[in-house]
Amino acid sequence: MVPIQYFIGLSAILFTIGILGVLIRRNAIIIFMSVELMLNSANLAFITFARMYQSLDGQVFVFFVMAVAAAEVAVGLALIVAIFRNKQSIDVDQINSLHG
């Protein structure tokens, strides 16, 4: 079948792309998407290891992660809407009034 290493590698690549996205992109929604990407990569890693050790614990944990991701997105999008009402923009570089 497909070797396990390819799944782990894919998970790592997806995680890295997610990190880069959080650090580099300015659009708040894109940052959220990147965060989702990171979460999904973690999910992939969980499933891979569940398959490898023939355990269902990893797969159950994926459900937790998805629930958390969904809740987080809800709160995050609410935040973005609130920010947009104030700033008329979702460019995170413009939220710098706490600078020293």
Q: Among residues 26, 62, 88, 89, which is the contact residue for another protein, using CB under 8 A?
A: 26
Least CB distance to another protein at residue 100 (A): 3
Instruction: Output 37-41 pairs: Cβ under 8 A, ≥24 positions apart.
Output: 38/14, 39/65, 39/68, 39/69, 40/14, 40/69, 41/10, 41/11, 41/12, 41/14, 41/15
Residue type, 70: A
Q: Is 19 in the site for another protein (CB under 8 A)?
A: yes
Q: Is 100 in the site for another protein (CB under 8 A)?
A: yes
Q: Is 80 in the site for another protein (CB under 8 A)?
A: no
**Residue whose CB is less far from another protein, 47 or 92:** 92
Q: How far apart are CA 64 and CA 94, in angstroms?
A: 34
Least CB distance to another protein at residue 51 (A): 23
Tokens of 4: 């396990």
Least CB distance to another protein at residue 42 (A): 14
* Contacting residues toward another protein, per CB under 8 A: 19, 22-24, 26, 92-93, 95-100
